[in-house]
A and B are shown apart, each in its own frame.
Chain A
Amino acid sequence: MHIIKAVALFILLPSAAVAQHDHSATYHAVWLETAYSRHDGQDTAHWDADGWVGGDTHKLWLKSEGEVRDGDSEGEVWALYSRNVSTFWDAQIGVRHDFGIGDRTWLAVGVNGLAPYFFETEAHLLLGEDGTVGARLRQENDLLLTNRLILSPSLELNAVSQANPPHGTGSGLTDATAALQLRYEVNRRFAPYVQLDHQRKLGDTAKRARAAGEPDEDTRVSLGVRWLF
């Protein structure tokens, strides 16, 4: 249900209006990645949506990612107010809601922008209802093999201040995911891709996983399509 709601929200965003000699016009952009992988003998569907609606300075930023396996979905939805504060950076504030293993809502504060050397960067501090402080850092870069064949490495790091046994997370750095996506941009609106993800649990979280007899790392390959609306 969450997925459907999230996707509907993105697609039903108002269409762009063009300004007449002023810049108060609103625009929108939605990147949606839908992918499939076969993992642990199970079919898994993934989605990763990233979109905004607004003007040059103020934007409503909505994000969602997650996966569906065996009819169970797990993921997160973000709703952020995003304000341009310098040439390459937006400051953001809003909420993140996790669903799946156990619903949880966070207050999120952070930045989104382009770091030198074209690193798309997102860094957010999270404050959970129970007082847990979390953090996420994400970086992504595009390497143009040709103008349409693009290799896109990315890295995500997560950390929390307190262990959360039901989630299997320990305190400190919890996990890192390095991904390599190779996509072919048929045009800017449609790009099929193949992606390799390597996730590794870290520190206390890794220890807990091993103690529970679970793997502390995971590698998978998925096939997907990236859409721009």
Chain B
Amino acid sequence: MKSMLLAGFFSLCASVALAETRTYDLTISQVQSTVGGKPVPKIAVNGTIPGPVLRFTEGDEAVIHVTNRLKTPTSVHWHGLLLPGVMDGAPGFNGFKGIAPGETFTYRFPVRQSGTYWYHSHSLGQEADGLYAGIVIAPKTPDPIQADRDYVVLLSDYHQDSAARIQANLKKSSDYYQYKRRTVGDLLKGAHQEGLGKALKSAGEWGKMRMLPTDLSDVTGYRFLVNGLTNAQNWTGLFRPGERVRLRFINASAMTMYDVRIPGLKMTVVAADGRPVQPVEVDEFRFGNAETYDVIVTPREDRAYTIAAESLDREGFALGTLAPREGMTGDIPAHRPRAVLRMGDMNMDVMMRDDPNMDMSQMDHDSGWADTGAPKGAVVLDYAQLKSLTPQSDTRAPTRFIKVVLGGSMERYIWTINGRTFSPQDGIALGYNERVRLIYVNETMMAHPLHLHGMFVQLENGQDTDRLPDKHTVIVPPGQTVSVLLSATEPGDWPYHCHLMFHMQSGMMTTLRVAAPEAGFVPPAAQPAPDHTSHGEGHHAHH
């Protein structure tokens, strides 16, 4: 309470006396939380999950005092923010050692950008256990995105098991939480629908690969929350009919991707990962962990609209409401069928490696992952539609190509980047201001939201070079190849990892090292451009 008062006092000071310094006090502590039954120890910021939304204006000096009241070290990482490495908040990187129990660490950095971001712990499973919240930064110049109302809609997933317990269970048995595997009955159903031969062939191909077509999510049993509230508690954003409402969607979930829709409303996507994009009108969007999207909706009727974020594995919805008055609820849409992965989701290189004589022409090239189940005619946001609102300042051609292979063994719950689990001495080294193309090759059957700290990448989504959208987190669909451009303008050692909590903890993480300007880094000889268009979908991330 005291710290909250203090925070209030400081922010008051900030707005009145010191317009350029904005101070927050955050206290990290353990709380007993009881979503849906038994009390579970979780981690809160200033007593709440999610913690308080931090608000800044571009150009501010951010001063954030973080006090650790846990028995273990903690840390806070400012997801998507451009800042000096030591302020990034990932222990073990750039000399940051984490925050010891009882200690207060002061983060201090200039706020160099605007938009919707978030913060979370980068220690153990603390993020999954509740240490997360939104960040909203107002632009210095008038906001190109005008709205009458402005809400943060932070999605998270809540589990009865602690993150440590989930991780241990996955290591015992990678299908510990998988209760939607294909059964003998599914095989018979398949045989009935498409013939025994075809069904057996498909089952055989999966079996030969030792992969499961149902690997959409490897942890189930979550409840889904909107701004920390359960569906029954019904987070509500108020509007007057005809108003433009800005929703700042943040996917702070540990392991859940969503398909987000608001039945009855078109959503105009105006920003992705904090960066303004040219408005795109959609009916729904697929929402990877750690991504953010700002959308504008204009509800015209005097009724409640349901914000429905359906988990990819169709286990549940995170639900909220837009309503003209408190206490109203809209209809809850029916669950869509659960997608089943197909041969088309497999990585061709991996298939050829396992069976050089495989006849691809006979194969089903459809992607199960890309099949969102949206009704015919509905517009589902495609990465290819994202187009930067303002021209990119750096449009140089890349001088190097760096392959980032996402791999792993689902069987042992080991996840890798370039064949290795995380090790502090490994990594990718770049010269200061070097311009490179990073080619993400997903050799697994799961989608990985790949997040780079400290910088944005330009997503090569087919738009003109100067309009490529900036992203801090990029979904790499199963078996697909996605490429991004990076201008290495921020010196430091930047964590570079899958944002699925237990993939990162099981090894899918590396370091991207950007040399200091004076370091005289000599990049390795330029490699020839690998032919990555042979993957059918080329470099277009699609979903």
Do A18 and B421 contact each other (CB < 8 Å), given the known contacts A23-B507, A114-B210, A188-B176? Answer: no
The chain B residues found within 8 Å of chain A, CB to CB, are: 90-92, 122-125, 163-164, 167-169, 171-173, 176, 178-185, 204, 207-210, 409, 411-412, 414, 421-424, 495, 505-507, 509
A-B contact pairs, 13 of them (CB 8 A): A20-B91, A20-B92, A22-B422, A23-B421, A27-B168, A29-B172, A88-B411, A114-B210, A143-B184, A145-B184, A145-B185, A147-B179, A188-B173
Q: Is the interface of A mostly helix, strand, loop or mixed?
A: loop
Contact with B along A135-177 (1 / 0, CB 8 A): 0000000011111100000000000000000000000000000
Residues A118 and B210 in contact, CB atoms below 8 Å apart: yes
Do A19 and B185 contact each other (CB < 8 Å), given the known contacts A29-B172, A116-B207, A117-B208? Answer: no
B204 CB contact (under 8 Å) in A28, A117, A146: A117
Let me know if A16 is at the binding interface, CB within 8 A: yes
Residues A18 and B505 in contact, CB atoms below 8 Å apart: yes
- Nearest to A84 among chain B residues (CB) is B412
Residues A22 and B506 in contact, CB atoms below 8 Å apart: no
Smallest CB–CB gap between A132 and chain B, Å? Answer: 34
Residues B210 and A145 in contact, CB atoms below 8 Å apart: no
Interface size on A, residues (CB 8 A): 27
- Nearest to A188 among chain B residues (CB) is B176
Smallest CB–CB gap between B129 and chain A, Å? Answer: 11
Contacting residues, chain B, for A18 (C-beta < 8 A): 124-125, 163-164, 167-168, 505
Smallest CB–CB gap between A12 and chain B, Å? Answer: 16
Give the tally of cross-chain contacts (CB within 8 A).
85
- Nearest to A116 among chain B residues (CB) is B208
Let me know if A228 is at the binding interface, CB within 8 A: yes
Let me know if A5 is at the binding interface, CB within 8 A: no
The chain A residues found within 8 Å of chain B, CB to CB, are: 15-16, 18-23, 27-29, 56, 84, 87-88, 114, 116-118, 143-148, 188, 228
Residues B181 and A147 in contact, CB atoms below 8 Å apart: yes
Smallest CB–CB gap between B293 and chain A, Å? Answer: 28
- Nearest to A115 among chain B residues (CB) is B210
Residues B125 and A147 in contact, CB atoms below 8 Å apart: no
Contacting residues, chain A, for B505 (C-beta < 8 A): 18-19
User: What are the 7 closest A-B residue pairs judged by CB atoms, nearest first?
Assistant: A29-B172, A117-B207, A27-B171, A16-B168, A23-B421, A144-B183, A147-B179
Task: Please measure, in the bound complex, the distance between the C-alpha atom of A148 and the C-alpha atom of B507, giving whole angstroms.
Answer: 30
B172 CB contact (under 8 Å) in A116, A118, A228: A228
Residues B181 and A56 in contact, CB atoms below 8 Å apart: no
Task: Please measure, in the bound complex, the distance between the C-alpha atom of A20 and the C-alpha atom of B72, giving whole angstroms.
Answer: 12
Contacting residues, chain A, for B424 (C-beta < 8 A): 21-22
- Nearest to B182 among chain A residues (CB) is A144
Most chain B CB within a 10 A radius of its CB, from A28, A116, A145: A116
A116 CB contact (under 8 Å) in B122, B179, B210: B210
Task: Please measure, in the bound complex, the distance between the C-alpha atom of A20 and the C-alpha atom of B122, giving whole angstroms.
Answer: 9
Contacting residues, chain B, for A84 (C-beta < 8 A): 412
- Nearest to B90 among chain A residues (CB) is A21
Task: Please measure, in the bound complex, the distance between the C-alpha atom of A152 and the C-alpha atom of B507, giving whole angstroms.
Answer: 31
